[in-house]
Amino acid sequence: MRPHLARRPKTPAPTRPATRPKLGDALPSREELLAFLAENPGAAGKRDIARAFGITGGAKIALKRVLRELQAEGVVEKRRKHFTPAGQLTHVFVADVTRRDADGELLATPDEWDEDDHGPAPLVLVLPEPKGRRAGPARPAAGIGDRLLLKLVDDYDDLPEGITYAARILRVLDKKPPAMLGVVRLVPGGARIVPIDKKGREIEVSTADLNDAQEDDLVALDLIRSGGRLGLARAKVRSVVGSMASERAVSEIALHVHNIPHVFPTAVLVEAESCTPAPQGRREDWRDLPLVTIDPPDAKDHDDAVHATPDTDPENPGGFVVTVAIADVAHYVRPGAALDREALHRGNSVYFPDRVVPMLPERISNDLCSLRESEVRPSMAVRMIFGADGRKKSHTFHRILMRSAAKLSYQQAQAAIDGRLDGKTETLIDGVLKPLWAAYAVLKRGRDNREPLELDLPERKILLKPDGTVDRVIVPERLDAHKLIEEFMIQANVAAAETLEKHRVPLVYRIHDAPSEEKVTALKEFLSTLDIKLASRGGLKPAMFNAILAKVVDTPKAGLVNEVVLRSQAQAEYNPQNIGHFGLHLKRYAHFTSPIRRYADLIVHRALIRALDLGPDGLPPQVDDKLEAIGAEISAAERRAMAAERDTIDRLIARWLMDKIGATFRAKISGVTKSGLFVRLDESGADGFVPAATIGDDYYVYDQATHAMIGSRTGETWRLGDTVEVKLVEAQPFAGALRFELMSEGTIERGMGRKRIAAAMARNKVRGGPSRGRKGAPRRN
């Protein structure tokens, strides 16, 4: 066993270099800079670097240029205004335990790692628990297959060969069984298991090892023998997960593959059922204010309600008073209780086409905390005053009792504003709905002046039949009603962050970093192939990207450019260290408006209660030091939910298209890789793959800069965003995989083939020959 280590300090001060240059000396070398960044992970901003090396005055401009060059080369990354060597892990991160080393210690790989940019994921040595802090009932021991929240240990100097980092366990997030999943296909003597992994091969199971599994059952397997030249792998059935003939079979796969907690422990249910409606107590009585909920027509829980009225203050002509009321989840879910622990474990609700896996039990989410029409509910409300220019002048938070005046759908509210009234909206149109839309017109001025990133990427929605299969895929219309609620919620979120900063109470921000220098450079190279320039004077701003998007509106390249701009953006996350929200162009932003379905919002509610002395159920001070770990945990849960939702949609559509093998479809190329082309069907939004070996009768090179495959002999080119005709040749519903064959030809620029191939190979540092298509394959009609 390896020796126990002292804990790393919570906020390490930057380590000064061994030999600090005197004022006026030359800039540090690249090697000195990189060494300094490696020794000070997460604590090396430009000021820290300048101070450490004694850089002053005009020399700071030269330092800035050197750092930009290192970013452009991909050697250094900028995260939250701090620089780190590229491919370095953050202090706190989520990882999956993959195996043990020769000493029996656990080895893990980080959950979030970009292999395209940084190569294979590093191995992390999971250090044993320190003395006096052993595993127990409340802190289970970690094992292979588990998902862990880890914190780096910087002072460990005995790493085995091949191991990059050492870390200690902050929390065991999931106890994941190391089992494979597949669907049973009975054959004489046993079964063949069809894997749900897109890259998996069939597995044999003997009759004796079926464990009562039947045809179409989804089963968990334990491997007995690996496959290879001797034949298929062999396994035995550990357990039957469920029948694939059931309506919820597809989302059931996602729950198990992504290890999403979906069964509430008994203690959590008992605690939820014991909750009773909140008394008025110190709450303000706002039951006569006609707040309304506006949600999707199929919404089961309603956690936000809105109201607006013109401001009567003569000092604010044309201004509005906007009120946003949010379900008071903090009253029922107390810190450290069973409900709270389970909510943190889940992180957020997960939404599938056929079901919702809620963060909180229905007694809380659909009953006590749902702002039902005409029923009294406890709420946290923010009253905001806006000037005629759309700028927020002031705001106040209140803990209230409210009664929703009406439950409306987006379509219903929009129809009323457009003149199509029904029995409910005709009583609300003048006193409630028209003031809401007038207030939105004012807030929109502020939004337009702020210029957030405005990507145009329509979202598709799957509509199911009663039997749980796909009926059709639609693109819901984007209404002003949607935009109104979105902007009201954004302003409420900003108000929450501002209040907590003012009162110096820690919180979890919703942060979104600016695109990295490396991604911006790649975007510029791509845009240059379309004769579009991305100006970058004065630093990156969302408006610069909006200007690019405006140039391609209503052109065939609009979808392509929107997609590439999206891919250049960083991923939003939760963190107690604020760097602002680049996409929304906001200096401070926190999630406050959905505590029923997001744990981050519950943290913010508790922080507001503590900051404003609104009750005894505020954020406990002992949680302050845990917010970094909580942010990492709920960010990982969010990514897990997104992956599960995406996989479920893929499986549903693959199942839907099974009887359409051989049919042709119009599609757009949605991705280009060395191994082939990803395509998205125009009608359904289904995603599939065209292997490079089936593309055509040429040799092809993948050009990363132009997102294209280029034929070396003919110059035939397929690029991201191109419209193509494809034929469906294979559908794997359990894996959610569709394989297509191109039926249309690429674009050809005569005489440019060899020149472009040479440039592509040079840009991508390709050695040897390019990728090969189907030699001698017939041309497609």
Q: pLDDT of 220-234, one tens digit each?
A: 888 888 766 667 888
Task: Compute φ and ψ for 616, nearest 5 degrees.
Answer: -85, 0
Average pLDDT over residues 558-575: 90
The answer on pLDDT for 20 being more than 70 is no
Query: Of 174 and 330, which is predicted with more confidence?
Result: 330
Distance CA 41, CA 39 (A): 6
- What pLDDT, in 10s, does the model give residues 57-79? 777 777 877 877 777 666 676 66
Report CA-CA distances (Å) from 584 to 78, 137, 487, 497: 19, 43, 11, 14
- What pLDDT, in 10s, does the model give residues 374-425? 999 999 999 999 999 999 999 999 999 999 999 999 999 999 999 999 999 9
Average pLDDT over residues 689-716: 86
| Predicted pLDDT of residue 40 | 65
| Start-to-end CA span in the chain (Å) | 67
The answer on pLDDT for 251 being more than 70 is yes
- What pLDDT, in 10s, does the model give residues 612-663? 999 999 999 999 999 999 999 999 999 999 999 998 998 889 889 988 999 9
The answer on pLDDT for 764 being more than 60 is no
The tally of CA atoms less than 13 A away on the side-chain side of residue 547 is 10
Highest mean pLDDT among 70-79, 155-164, 324-333, 662-671: 324-333
- What pLDDT, in 10s, does the model give residues 269-279? 999 999 999 98
Report CA-CA distances (Å) from 223 to 236, 237, 238, 250: 7, 9, 10, 23
> Which pTM does this prediction carry?
0.80
Question: pLDDT grade, residue 81 (50/70/90)?
Answer: low
The DSSP symbol for 743 reads: -
Question: pLDDT grade, residue 703 (50/70/90)?
Answer: confident
Amino acid (one-letter) located at 336: G
Distance CA 645, CA 478 (A): 21
Percent of the chain past pLDDT 90, that is, above it, reads 47
Question: pLDDT grade, residue 53 (50/70/90)?
Answer: confident
Question: pLDDT grade, residue 140 (50/70/90)?
Answer: low
Average pLDDT over residues 312-330: 97
- What pLDDT, in 10s, does the model give residues 101-131? 767 788 888 877 766 566 678 888 888 776 5
Mean pLDDT of the chain: 85
The answer on pLDDT for 329 being more than 90 is yes
Report CA-CA distances (Å) from 624 to 9, 137, 500, 523, 765: 15, 25, 13, 39, 48
| Predicted pLDDT of residue 768 | 40
| Predicted pLDDT of residue 517 | 83
| Predicted pLDDT of residue 453 | 96
Distance CA 742, CA 664 (A): 9
Q: Judge whether 296 and 587 are in contact, CB under 8 Å.
A: no
3-state secondary structure of 342: helix
| Predicted pLDDT of residue 192 | 92
